[in-house]
Amino acid sequence: MLAKDNDKKEVILVLPYLNVNTTSTERFKSLIQAFESDESCTLRVIVIDDGIKRSYFGGLDRLNVDSFPSENYTFYKTKYNFIQRFAFKCVNAGYNRCWRVLQLIHLLVYRIDIFNPSELNLAKKSHSQGYVITSGSHFSFFSTAQKLARQFNYKLILDYRDPWTFGYPSVGGLGFIHKLKKLAGRKQEELLLKQALLITTVSNSLKNFFPTLYHHKIHVFGNGNNFSVSEMSTSTPSSKFNIVYAGTIYDEQLIDDVFFEAMKLFILNKDISKIGLQFIGSVHNSVLKNKIEKYGLSAITEITPRLKNTELIPYLNNASLFLHLRYGDKKSVISSKQAEYLAFRRPILLPVSDDGDIAESILQNHAGYVCNNLNAVIKTLEKLWAKFDKGENLFITQPEEFIERLNRKNIAESFVKLILRS
């Protein structure tokens, strides 16, 4: 006999967005679908409407977004303070410098990030038990979720996709801003960690940034791959040697010139009509475009906006080699692109080792090549080119459980099981 809705546990997800093209959105969608599929709970999804209408901002693309069929989410308009309202108007008008200054002012005045939705005026339904779950890197949402959990007498779940005050500065962020965030937010974060029933994060490296006092409540659910095995080709192309980078590229990933210098030397005396260099989703990075021109790679390079999943699949399937670039001096960044690279099973090239999570993932999974100098990169490219030139398939065979472990749907279902039994 099916339980009545008011006998079920209620799950409230508080999210910063759903209608943008970014991998964190895919994580949110997978969790929503997994909770919707579980008959032991009811789901309410609150998406905060920050009023930002700009098509591309802060790595988030609001164009070319995959549709998401769900009836369980609503957009919530919160009451922002004057600084927030003015800042979001600056964003929409394209005044980036003004936006950055107002972000800093808001942090200094309110000791919390500018996306803070404050309190949510939601009505409690007739559930006796429930959970409030939110996901950072808008860490002000953690405080909002805590207030809601206390109001409803629900359990608080915090999902970390990036570090807050424990760990490295945000990718693409400024070091002094991170120091200010630590000063402003450390006590608040420690309070939230104490009050949370469970904490989830995407890697053991992120888990280890937290004080050991909280490790017993921290669970790791890695970034996943969005595609099914049936969508993946097990053959690499025979007519073109395609090197593919998928996703956002940050300036700190472009500090090293090793890969670009290696490519300049690699294509000498080769038929460049058989070589492709593709940066998928990186069209907004001007530093990348300058490097491509500087090293004479324009003739072989394609740079695209972020693509829908259906548009991305052909690029992933037509790759001979996947490119990863370390995130400056950070050792603990492991992005969703790594899961996609592993799932599509082409060799991964890391031109300069991060001496951390990316290199470890490649080596432990026998998934490619980790280099440390120009000669090693050229040698690797020449080795793979020789195989391509002989008509060899560069596809890497992996066991079935390897692919299942990377599936985002399976990861989300494991997440839901942990929450609902806690």
Residue 4 has pLDDT above 70, yes or no: no
The region of weakest confidence among 47-51, 146-150, 186-190, 250-254 is 47-51
C-beta of residue 99 within 8 angstroms of C-beta of residue 127: no
* 51 Rama class: left (phi>0) / alpha (psi -120 to 50) / beta: left
* Confidence (pTM): 0.92
Tally of CB atoms within 10 A around 303: 19
Out of 47-61, 148-162, 164-178, the most confident range is: 148-162
Query: The domain 229-400 is classified under which CATH number: 3.40.50.720, 3.40.50.2000, 3.40.50.300, 3.30.360.10?
Result: 3.40.50.2000
Percent over 90 (pLDDT), the chain? 77
Q: What homologous superfamily does CATH list for 5-224+407-420?
A: Glycogen Phosphorylase B; (3.40.50.2000)
Q: What is the pLDDT of residues 291-341, one digit of tens each?
A: 999 999 999 999 999 999 999 999 999 999 999 999 999 999 988 999 999
Residue 173 has pLDDT above 80, yes or no: no
Q: Where in the chain are all domains bearing CATH 3.40.50.2000? A: 5-224+407-420, 229-400
Cross-strand bridge partners of residue 349: 323, 369
Say which amino acid occupies 256: D
C-beta of residue 319 within 8 angstroms of C-beta of residue 331: no
Q: Higher model confidence: residue 20 or residue 325?
A: 325
Tally of CB atoms within 10 A around 220: 12
The pLDDT score that the predictor gives to residue 328 is: 92
The pLDDT score that the predictor gives to residue 1 is: 39
Q: How would residue 50 be classed by pLDDT, with cut points 50, 70 and 90?
A: confident
The region of weakest confidence among 58-67, 254-263, 360-369 is 58-67
C-beta of residue 140 within 8 angstroms of C-beta of residue 113: yes
Q: How would residue 7 be classed by pLDDT, with cut points 50, 70 and 90?
A: confident
Q: What is the 3-class SS of the chain, one letter each residue?
A: CCCCHHHCEEEEEEECCCCCECHHHHHHHHHHHHHHCCCCEEEEEEEECCCCCCCEECCEECCCCCCCCCCCEEEECCCCCHHHHHHHHHHHHCCHHHHHHHHHHHHHHHCCCCCCCCCCCCCCCCCCCEEEEEEECCCHHHHHHHHHHHHHCCEEEEEECCCCCCCCCCCCCCHHHHHHHHHHHHHHHHHHHHHCCEEEECCHHHHHHCCHHHHHHEEECCCCECCCHHHCCCCCCCCCEEEEEECCCCHHHHCCCHHHHHHHHHCCCCCHHHEEEEEECCCCCHHHHHHHHHCCCHHHEEEECCCCHHHHHHHHHCCCEEECCCCCCCCCCCCHHHHHHHHHCCCEEECCCCCCHHHHHHHHCCCEEECCCHHHHHHHHHHHHHHHHCCCCCCCCCCHHHHHHHEHHHHHHHHHHHHHCC
User: What integer is the mean pLDDT of 367-379?
Assistant: 97
Q: What is the mean pLDDT of the chain?
A: 92
